[in-house]
Every structure is written in C-alpha cells, then in structure tokens.
Structure 1
Amino acid sequence: MHRESFYHYLMTQRQPDHPTDIEQFANNAFFDTTFPKQSQDFDEISKYLEETADYLPSMTIFDEAWQKYLDKMN
C-alpha cells in the first residue's frame, strides 16, 4: 500500500476560519512553494521546517500533526 505524503495529508487539515494551530500550519504550508511535498520522512520535513519555515511558531505543532498523519496512515 502506498502511503500519501505528509503534505498531502496536511492539506486535508486546512481551515480558513478560526483555525487551530495544526490548521494554521496547513494554511501556511499551502503557500510555501519549497515545502517537501512528496516526503514521507519525519527527519527531512522536521529539518526543513526548523531551517526554513518561519511560519511555524513551535515544532510541537509539527509533532502533533505528524502523529495524526501516522494515525491516519496506519
């Protein structure tokens, strides 16, 4: 079974009105043209976010989103 990318999952979480932290992360990632859209690798995405994404106020938000992604994929 092929697992969808984290970005693809994250896009299902977008919410324009009164977003939660994860929904806001998804909204911002949508506009990030260099986000690793095909990646399923925690370390690759985490490194990218730490070094590049100034729109993520806390890596805890990514950790929570990643766990929800894993829960959905399994």
Structure 2
Amino acid sequence: MIKTFYTFLMTQRNPESYDPVAEFANNAFYDSSFPKQETDFERLSKYLEENASYLPSMTIFDDAWRLYQDFLA
C-alpha cells in the first residue's frame, strides 16, 4: 500500500527543528483542509500554492516531495 504524501510528511515533524521541511510538516499538521489522501504532485502543488500561506516557498514542497519519492522507492 502506498502511503500518502501527508502520512510521509508527518514523519518529518519536529517542533524543535528549524529545518524547512520539518516546519512545513509542523504547519501542515495544523492545516485542517490539507488533502490528506492525495498522492498526486500537481494536485498537492495546486492546493499549497492556493491555500498554504504557511509555506514561504514552493521549493520546500519540492524538497519534501523528493524525500517522499525516495521513501517510496
């Protein structure tokens, strides 16, 4: 079974870290509208661009997505 991006992202949470991916994960945890079942890059990217004011740069999402892809491999 393929884990969703959100499930993977939650493994990156660390409230004491200043790592951008960890901060993204920490903030996504509190985003009640985050598409938790989504596995598609384009749909996630569109959601984040339109709704995630807590994400200062889409490059952080790109980095997290690469980690996710490595995790699935």
TM-score, length of structure 2 as denominator length: 0.97
The aligned amino acid for 1:68 is L
Match of 2:19 in 1: 20
Report percent identity of matched pairs: 56
The aligned amino acid for 2:27 is N
Residue 19 of structure 1: how far off its partner (Å): 2.7
Q: Structure 1 segments of 4 or more deviating over 2 A?
A: none
- In structure 1, the gaps of 5 or more residues are none
Correspondence 1:47 to 2:32: no
How many equivalent residue pairs?
73
Residue 18 of structure 1: how far off its partner (Å): 2.7
Match of 1:62 in 2: 61
